Each structure stands twice: as structure tokens, then as C-alpha cells.
Amino acid sequence: MDAQAWDERYSASELVWSTGPNQFVAEDLGDLPAGRALDLAAGEGRNALWLAGRGWQVVAVDFSRVALDKGRALEQRQRASRPGSPDVEWVVGDALTFSPPAGLDLAVLAYLQLPADQRRTAVRRAYGSLAVGGTFFVVAHDSTNLTEGTGGPQDPDVLFTAEEVLGDLDGERFDVVRAGRVAREVAAGDDHGGPADGGRATAYDCLVRLVRTG
């Protein structure tokens, strides 16, 4: 989908995603001290806003202006509950061409589902924005979700594994904190496609958390 198609999707409902952060973002990154962060393909900004609420200075990038406008509106509504937290910097930009600021402490790519060559470009751009010691975090629909899980994209070309993300960073220096497949329980109406029968099911994501060492 291109930017126009995503603009239309975001325009069709009040919110496409939830207002709270992705569960793995919250679980894995909650222990990090606040610093400067990039949320690439930020959508409506749920992860960026959560990070800002924890004191992070966040650049939230997405090619959908409609999504970012919704993020700004959410930020204004939430401001009363987190006074003094940094403003998110909302930037309209393509994950494949955007030049992020350098020396960041965290780069997040959440559910950026792209074909392999495009994914590699986005992964390497985001990783390259980090300072030594910075954290790189990817969560996305895993390739196995197509046959073993529920919901998510049905095009195998945009699904991938943690091992493929590590391969995208071939030649880079990092320590692996976590890399593999994780299970996510979903219900009907879940952001990423719960079962239509109103029950609960399991979706499978890939998750990568690295620390840049060079």
C-alpha cells in the first residue's frame, strides 16, 4: 500500500490502532532510560506517545500525513495526563528514503511489513541512526503466522523472521538481546486481526532487540 492508500485507511475510522503501545514495545523497552528515539513507520503514534510519556524525545516518522495528524490530536488529548513530557516531533517521510538524525539511543520499527529488499533498506537506515550503545527494536508479523497464526498480512512476501532481520544487518556490530518468534494472544477486533467468531486465537510475531556495539 502506498501513502494515499494508507491516508484513505486512516481517514475511514477514528483510530486504526489502539491508543496504548504495542505489548512487546512496552514489555521490552520499559526498562530503558529515556533518551532520543526514532519511531519509523509510526502510524498514529501509539508507541511514540508512550515513549514520550516516559521522558523520551521521539521523532515519529510515517508517510501518511493523516496518521500523523491523528497522532498530534492524541498527543493534545493526553497532554493533561503527562504534563512536562517532551513533545513528539511528527515527520512525514518514507521509511525507505527518510534520513533520520544520528546518535539516537533507540530505533523502533513496529509492524513495518515490506518485501525483503525494501525491508533491508529500512532496517539499515534505522540501525544506522543509532549511537554506539543504542537499542534497535523490531517487531513484525512473522512468516509462520500465515500458516500457524491468525490475522496480519496474507502476502508472504512482506512477512519475515528474526533471522532475516539479523541478516539485513550483516556486517554491522551488535549484541543480540533477544531474537526469535513470540506469541501474541488476539481477540475479535484486535488491531492486527483477531478471529471473526469472537473467540481468541494466537498470532505469531518476530521480535529483534539488539544493542549497537560499533
Residues 6+ apart with CB under 8 A from 31: none
Average pLDDT over residues 89-103: 96
Q: Residue 83 pLDDT > 80, yes or no? A: no
Q: Residue 197 pLDDT > 70, yes or no? A: no
Question: Which strand (E) or helix (H) includes residue 141?
Answer: strand 130-141
**Domains in the chain, CATH or no CATH each:** 3-9+21-212 (3.40.50.150)
Question: Three-state DSSP class for 65?
Answer: helix
What is this structure's pTM? 0.90
Query: 132: phi > 0 → left, psi -120 to 50 → alpha, else beta; which?
Result: beta
Q: What is the pLDDT of residues 97-143, one digit of tens each?
A: 999 999 999 999 999 999 999 999 999 999 999 999 999 999 999 99
**pLDDT score of 190:** 53
Average pLDDT over residues 28-55: 96
Q: How many Å apart are CA 36 and CA 58, to the nearest integer?
A: 6
Sign of CA dihedral 123, 126, 131, 135: negative
Phi, psi (deg, nearest 5) at residue 169 = -100, 20
Which residue type occupies 110?
A
Q: What is the pLDDT of residues 55-71, one digit of tens each?
A: 999 999 999 999 999 99
